[in-house]
């Protein structure tokens, strides 16, 4: 009973081992007390009871060892997302995350800020914080198929889409990060709950830049269909994936703000959230209109923490002469 109550709160396998020790000790003590009460005896009986209590304690510890050994296999077999497994998947040394950091560093930094926004929101809304963290870290892994196709990885260099001058092909490259991400996730045997973040964080949103580029430059020459410039979906099916969609949508806009006031930042975030709501991207997510206002305030609060003012160093401290005296 004790193990069942506490097990759901565990965050690492070391805690599971300690839980086994605690359960074994508790089991031994309970066995000893119950048998003392039932027998009402003393003397030589103590030796028997202590031996039985020790055996019960060892059984408790033994079962924790068995649980430690079997839990990874059971998690994979039944596609379980326990807090322990989610914590392990969030380790930045996981192969996919290490690849993302080296092959698409701009996307990796974007992912970290989105994760910060989404985690803070999930915590205040009572959602699964561990699932949100892990899902966010993997939501854009598909961008590794063509890192330079995404502006955050261009590092101020030329934009390949400018030279392509083909909004349909550009939209195809952008959309492909979803399908490629799912391929990578399945190959890495990520849980389905994590895989869901890859398509659902984009839903069926419009790739607006290239859609309007096509309408402006190709109307009359070629049919411009909006469905060619929308992600395939599905839209978010849980509060967790809905939160990540909103965090992903607001991340770049918040990063672009430097000297904006809190009111200006809040107005911009609310505008983005309203656009997602009106586009019916959140109808299946379980998020409500009331949640939208709260989410906007959380995003801006996190942005303020990242965007705090720093003290400017006096010029004398930065001069070569001063640095040479250090």
The residues spanned by each domain of the chain are 2-78, 93-306
Nearest 5 degrees, angle CA 305-CA 311-CA 317? 145
CB 286 within 8 A of CB 248: no
pTM of the model: 0.81
CATH: 3.40.50, 1.10.8, 3.90.550, 1.10.3210. Which one for 93-306? 1.10.3210
Q: Structure tokens of 155? A: 């590092």
Q: Let me know if 160 is exposed, middle or buried by CB neighbors in 10 A (0-12, 13-18, 19+).
A: middle
Task: Render the burial of 173-209: b for 16+ CB within 10 Å, e for the rest.
Answer: bbbebbebbbebbeeeebbebbbbbbbbbbbebbbee
- Of 238, 139, 123, 251, nearest in space to 185 by CA: 139
Q: What is the pLDDT of residues 272-301, one digit of tens each?
A: 999 999 999 999 999 999 999 999 999 999
Omega cis (within 30) before 286: no
How many other CB atoms are there within 10 angstroms of residue 323's CB atom?
9
Contacts of 18 (CB under 8 A, 6+ apart): none
Q: Structure tokens of 40? A: 């009402």
Q: How do the residues of the chain divide into helix, strand and coil, expressed in percent and rounded to 5?
A: 70, 0, 25
Supply the mean pLDDT for the chain: 85
Written as one string, the DSSP assignment of 70-123 is HHHHHHHHTT---HHHHHHHT-TTSHHHHHHHHH-HHHHHHHHHHHHHHHHHHH
| pLDDT of residue 210 exceeding 60 | yes
Task: List the beta bridge partners of residue 206.
Answer: 230
For residue 32, what pLDDT band results from cuts at 50, 70 and 90? low
Task: Render the burial of 136-147: b for 16+ CB within 10 Å, e for the rest.
Answer: bbbbbbbbbbbb
* Segment among 32-41, 135-144, 310-319 with least mean pLDDT: 310-319
* Segment among 74-78, 248-252, 311-315 with least mean pLDDT: 311-315
How far is Cα 61 from Cα 18, in angstroms, rounded to an integer?
9
How far is Cα 15 from Cα 229, in angstroms, rounded to an integer?
48
pLDDT at residue number 31:
66
Alpha carbon 124 to its chain's center: 15
Residues 52-76, mean pLDDT to the nearest whole number: 66
How far is Cα 34 from Cα 244, in angstroms, rounded to an integer?
52
End-to-end CA distance of the chain: 62
Q: What is the pLDDT of residues 94-135, one digit of tens each?
A: 999 999 999 999 999 999 999 999 999 999 999 999 999 999
pLDDT at residue number 78:
82
Q: Structure tokens of 295? A: 């989410």
Stronger pLDDT, 8 or 111, i.e. the higher one: 111
């Amino acid at each position: 009973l004790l193990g069942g109550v506490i097990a759901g709160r565990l965050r690492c396998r070391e805690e599971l081992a300690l839980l086994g020790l605690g359960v074994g000790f508790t089991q031994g003590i309970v066995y000893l007390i119950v048998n003392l009460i039932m027998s009402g005896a003393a003397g030589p009986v103590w030796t028997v009871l202590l031996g039985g209590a020790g055996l019960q304690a060892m059984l408790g510890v033994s079962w924790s060892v068995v649980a430690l050994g079997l839990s990874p296999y059971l998690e994979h077999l039944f596609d379980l997302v326990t807090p322990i497994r989610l914590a392990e998947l969030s380790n930045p040394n996981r192969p996919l995350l290490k690849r993302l950091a080296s092959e698409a560093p701009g996307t990796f930094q974007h992912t970290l800020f989105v994760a910060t926004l989404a985690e803070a929101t999930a915590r205040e809304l009572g959602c699964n914080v561990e699932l949100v963290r892990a899902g966010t870290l993997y939501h854009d892994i598909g961008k590794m198929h063509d890192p330079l196709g995404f502006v955050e990885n261009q590092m101020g260099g030329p934009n390949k889409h400018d030279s392509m001058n083909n909004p349909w092909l550009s939209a195809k490259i952008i959309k492909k990060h979803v399908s490629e991400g799912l391929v990578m996730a399945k190959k890495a045997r990520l849980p389905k709950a994590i895989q869901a973040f890859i398509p659902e964080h984009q839903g069926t949103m419009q790739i607006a830049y290239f859609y309007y580029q096509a309408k402006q430059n190709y109307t009359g020459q070629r049919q411009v269909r909006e469905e060619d410039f929308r992600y395939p979906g599905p839209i978010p099916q849980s509060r967790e994936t809905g939160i990540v969609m909103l965090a992903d949508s607001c991340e770049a806009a918040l990063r672009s703000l430097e000297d904006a006031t809190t009111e200006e930042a809040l107005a911009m975030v609310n505008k983005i959230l309203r656009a997602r709501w009106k586009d019916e991207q959140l109808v299946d997510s379980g998020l409500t209109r009331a949640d939208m206002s709260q989410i906007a305030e959380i995003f801006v609060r996190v942005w303020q923490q990242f965007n705090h003012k720093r003290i400017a160093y006096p010029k004398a401290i930065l001069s070569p002469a001063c640095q040479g005296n250090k």
